[in-house]
Structure 1
């Protein structure tokens, strides 16, 4: 069968894989291990397939793909493997470790304290950046999860107050007015109760790291671009980079610079091949008064593409 994969196909394949691989009394424990709702053995004895289906009926595509990958780690299923390939949602390669982001001062200095386990430590300028090192589950990183982490760090008990405080801290790291337009408009969703389940928009993320600065090098370093403007971590291990381009992305000293532009698109290819989705905006799009409309149009299609809940933007802060 060819063509777009339907959600019911993924659900059925997941349920049938577990039905065929497990005994009835094993199904409840297996479902819990995959993050699904618990139940009783008697329910599973009635129908293993329906037991599983009832727990994934509200899963979106990204959640189903993430669950399918987990199941394939434990049980072979050519049907499920084929559906994942055809779904086009490959996710990013590599295990999530930590986020170093929102730097609002000098560049942090980082060392590997355990090269085998890829454990990093910031030895200098840690006070100017944030580090998120909690595990990220199949739901991705939501604003709610990020605020919960921030409450633990700051000991602000009220979640709404902590959310506003975190928003202000993240805003400090933004490097340009176009970035602020994009960030402020997207974050309008967080003022709604539903928006707390939206993917958090994380600014100024260190994706690569070169321990030296440009000033300390006599030649171009091995890493062209170290910090991304924005990162979103969606369900299903989907990682999205958003870049807001100023003139420095494609020109030098006021003149077109083909070399700089080529470096930029080359880095984009590397990210895409690693499984990241990259969305790039020209800073000029946000200069005029229609900047909010540009962001709104992106959000509308973004919600459809990644099956996120649509939030009434008329209720967002002006």
Structure 2
């Protein structure tokens, strides 16, 4: 009886110790879970607070400068007479080049890689290089544009040279996003099209592209958003921010809003008003970005509901 009692007591203590260990583990896991949750919350709040502070500072310094004269006047050495009409027109001209070039080359490359190219070393080589290009610093694309488009082809610091350079910069974004969108189209849609007697190109044009258009437009939105805000490649190819005529064709010299912000920020060391003018230009750039993204999102949602 004593041995039975001792064994029962030992089992009870062992079971009690196991429960304590489980409770400690549960407490530790709950502590870690709460710690990580509040850490991520703090990270999110930090980013939002910094963003809110930046927006507040820009609005405080720049809103007072935004008027019709500022939007319609050309560049001037006098801050009270300076405007951004040339930079706005130059930005629109740049997007006029970047948009079609990027869409044609990016979507065409994605279609070839996903629908036509055979899986093998060549396909892996192209795919790896496209992925690596997405991580190349933008200044490298600027040097490439300076060598090829500005000097080799003789375009000079023109809209066509800047547009082609920025197209190379954002091309990997469109290619990768378009590939993912095309890959997400169910295979049975292709098989049904083939079963109806359609050719491969007819299937791609009438089935695959419309079904994947929402994802493709998302990639285009991201690409244009990056292109409109980049400065380093344009600095490398020698785009000026001087008093130049408003461009009227893709062969004219030009400047863009990010370049104007860049130079006015530098010149604010000498003239205090340039800092406020740079803030006002940032507001205009954000509005242009918002309008572009809104139109693209509306188009994307239309395709998404349709297909």
In terms of fraction of residues, the more helix-rich structure is 2
Q: The TM-score by the shorter chain falls in which range?
A: under 0.3
Higher strand share: 1
Return the index of the structure with the highest Cα Rg. 2
Tell me the TM-score normalized by structure 1.
0.24
TM-score (norm 2): 0.24
